[in-house]
Structures are given as structure tokens and as C-alpha cells.
């Protein structure tokens, strides 16, 4: 009789492969850190190859482990998709989603039809707001917001973390003779998102540049406007590897410096406990987590 690994161990593996962090895997799956490492070691003992590599007190996945995690993720997605094809037929109603502009424009809008195809009886209303941590509107079913994950008395699910680095258009880079040093940023407009100036200050400090420079330039009311200005060669924005991924992959934006930093905030799915139990919200929550897991791998390494 074949031996099959436990689903819990496989869920831990796919989460750890995506986040690269025992701590974030534990938070995401509501486990202790020791439970995460136990499940990984238990899984490794059931395999005929080394799943993990160790460097001091830190653990990571071996090349074979990464490949195995990829196969497991595809298999779990297939199982989930099969179940959803039958369950989705009973999910109907209106779902009002409120997202940050950057997340909506940079990621969700290019995929929302997939959710509509999976749940054709759900009417989707997508709104945006720039007050990123405001989750008080009772007319909203579920929020996609950006913060530290602390919203008391709300149902909160981690979606994805980010890494931040300056971005600009290739045309802008060519016009300014390529940047040889981060100090060259003092000669060009910096593009800010209202309320996110601290992120520029953190990056400039890490790059050895006076953080006061973050107070200069042009400030935009939301992320979409800021990134559009960068695409149209109006200056240098501080982008992230999630919402800017498509623009970076297509060459519309480039990263002129190698230095990237782990963002101090992450994206979360937030709703009231009552609305979190709604079939439409539960369906969207499951779908968006699966979609992110299938299309984005987080790097938890230092800059």
C-alpha cells in the first residue's frame, strides 16, 4: 500500500516554499514555529531525498525540495479546483470588494475575470480607497488592504509581503544617463504615494543617501497615479515586486539599483467576522490566496 504524506505537512511545505520563512508560515497557518519545523522534518523523513538544507539555525528548501513543493502546489490546486467546480454552483449573490489602488490596478484587475469565470453567479463590485487601513465601511464585504495585520475584532488573512526598490521607465533612465549611485536620485524628481514617504526614507537611509530627500518631488493620492507617472517618465517611484511585477516583466519599468528591502507592511484580506462567513467572501478568500500562491513566490532574504 502506498504511503501518502499528510495534507497538513504538504500545506506547510507549500506555504514555506512561498514565504521562505518559518515565522510567516506559522502565522499564515495558525501554527507554532515548532509545529512548522516538525511538519517539515516529518515530511522529509517520509521522502527518499533531502527536502531541507540547514545553515546554522536557519532552514531552507533544497533544490529538490523546491521542485517537490512546486509539484505539490500544482497537485493541491488541482484538488481544490475539482472541489470548487461542484461547490461554486451554489455560490451566488453580490460581492463588494474594496482594494488599495495599487493592488487593484497592478494585480487584481488583470485576474478578476478568473474569479468571475469560477463563480459566474457572483456579481462583483470592485472599489478602491486610498485610506489604506480603513476597514470600517459596513457596505463593503471584504477589504484588500495594506498594513501591519492588526485590525482588532476583524477577520484578517495574510495575502502577500513585498520588497521595495526604486523603479522608473527605461526612457527616463536613458534620458538621465543611467544612475551610477543612489546619490544621483537627488538630481531627479522622486514620485511619492501620499502616506508612504517613510518607505522612501528607509530605502534612502539603507542606500547611504540623506533621507530628507524623500520630502522632495511629487506626491500622488494613490499608487496607480504614482506608477503611471513613472511609466510616463516623470520621475522615479518606489515600487514593490508585487504590484509592479507585470510592468517590470514587460519592460515598462526597470529597477535602476540592486538594493531592495523587505517592506515594513504587507497585503491582507480583512472583513468583519460575520461577513467572513458569507459564501461569496469565503469563495473570494480561497480563490485569491490560491491565485497568489500559484503566481508569486516571496523572497524573505535580506537586502
pLDDT, tens digit, for every residue of 89-107?
Answer: 578 899 999 998 889 988 9
Looking at the fold, whether 167 and 259 belong to one and the same domain comes out as yes
Residue 121 belongs to a domain:
yes
- Which burial class, exposed, middle or buried, applies to 156 when counting CB atoms under 10 A from its CB (0-12, 13-18, 19+)? middle
For the chain, give the mean pLDDT.
86
Q: Are 131 and 159 in contact (CB under 8 A)?
A: no
Judgement on whether residues 111 and 144 belong to the same structural domain of the protein = yes
The answer to whether residues 155 and 274 belong to one domain is yes
Residues 168 and 221 reside in one and the same domain: yes
Q: What average pLDDT does range 40-47 have in this prediction?
A: 88
Indicate if 169 and 236 belong to the same structural domain: yes
| pLDDT of the residue at 198 | 86
What residue numbers bound the domain in which 75 lies? 7-86
Please check whether residues 33 and 77 belong to one and the same domain: yes
Mind listing the pLDDT tens digit for each residue in 228-278?
999 999 999 999 888 888 899 999 999 999 999 988 889 999 998 888 889
Q: What CATH number did the domain enclosing 23 receive?
A: 1.10.10.10
**What is the share, in percent, of the chain residues with pLDDT greater than 90?**
40
The per-residue pLDDT for 131 is 63
Higher-confidence residue: 106 or 124?
Answer: 124
75 & 47 share domain: yes
Residue 52: beta bridge partners? 61
Task: Tell me, yes or no, whether 302 lies in a domain.
Answer: no
Give the separation between CA 12 and CA 24, rounded to whole angstroms: 11
Q: Report pLDDT for 75.
A: 83
22-29 vs 7-19: helix axis angle to the nearest 10? 130
Domain-located, residue 51 = yes
Q: What is the pLDDT of residues 182-197, one digit of tens each?
A: 999 999 999 998 877 7
Percent of the residues in the chain that have a pLDDT greater than 70, as a whole number: 91
* pLDDT score of 303: 44
**What is the predicted pLDDT for the residue at 29?**
86
Residues 259 and 184 in one domain: yes
**Residue 234's domain is classified under what CATH number?**
3.40.190.10
Verify that 247 and 199 share a domain, yes or no.
Answer: yes
134 and 275 within one domain:
yes
Q: Is residue 77 part of a domain?
A: yes
Is 244 inside any structural domain? yes
Residue 148 lies in a domain: yes
Q: How high is the pLDDT of residue 5?
A: 82
Residue 88 C-alpha cell reads as: 461554486
Domain count along the chain: 3
Q: pLDDT class for 296, splitting at 50, 70, 90?
A: low
Contact 40, 50 (CB under 8 A): no
286 and 229 in one domain? no
pTM of the model: 0.66
Amino acid at each position: 500500500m502506498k504511503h501518502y504524506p499528510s495534507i497538513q505537512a504538504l500545506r506547510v511545505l507549500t506555504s514555506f516554499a512561498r514565504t521562505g520563512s518559518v515565522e510567516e508560515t506559522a502565522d499564515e497557518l495558525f501554527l507554532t514555529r515548532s509545529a512548522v519545523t516538525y511538519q517539515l522534518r516529518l515530511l522529509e523523513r517520509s521522502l527518499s531525498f533531502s527536502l531541507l538544507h540547514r545553515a546554522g539555525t536557519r532552514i531552507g528548501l533544497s533544490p529538490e525540495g523546491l521542485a517537490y513543493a512546486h509539484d505539490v502546489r500544482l497537485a493541491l490546486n488541482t484538488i481544490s479546483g475539482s472541489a470548487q467546480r461542484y461547490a461554486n454552483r451554489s455560490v451566488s449573490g453580490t460581492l463588494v470588494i474594496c482594494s488599495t489602488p495599487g493592488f487593484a490596478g497592478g494585480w487584481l484587475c488583470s485576474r478578476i475575470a478568473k474569479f468571475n469565470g469560477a463563480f459566474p453567479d457572483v456579481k462583483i463590485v470592485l472599489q478602491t480607497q486610498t485610506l489604506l487601513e480603513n476597514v470600517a465601511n459596513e457596505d463593503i464585504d471584504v477589504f484588500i488592504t495594506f498594513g501591519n495585520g492588526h485590525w482588532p475584532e476583524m477577520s484578517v488573512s495574510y495575502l502577500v509581503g513585498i520588497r521595495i526598490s526604486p523603479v522608473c521607465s527605461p526612457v527616463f533612465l536613458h534620458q538621465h544617463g543611467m544612475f551610477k549611485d543612489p546619490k544621483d536620485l537627488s538630481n531627479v524628481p522622486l514620485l511619492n504615494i501620499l502616506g508612504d514617504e517613510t518607505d522612501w526614507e528607509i530605502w534612502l537611509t539603507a542606500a547611504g543617501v540623506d533621507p530628507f530627500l524623500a520630502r522632495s518631488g511629487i506626491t500622488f493620492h494613490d499608487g496607480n497615479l504614482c506608477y503611471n507617472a513613472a511609466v510616463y517618465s516623470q520621475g522615479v517611484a518606489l515600487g514593490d515586486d508585487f504590484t509592479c511585477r507585470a510592468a517590470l516583466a514587460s519592460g515598462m519599468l526597470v529597477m535602476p539599483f540592486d538594493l531592495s528591502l523587505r517592506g515594513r507592511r504587507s497585503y491582507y484580506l480583512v472583513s468583519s467576522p460575520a461577513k467572513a462567513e458569507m459564501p461569496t467572501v469565503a469563495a473570494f478568500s480561497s480563490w485569491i490566496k490560491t491565485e497568489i500562491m500559484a503566481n508569486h513566490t516571496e523572497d524573505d532574504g535580506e537586502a
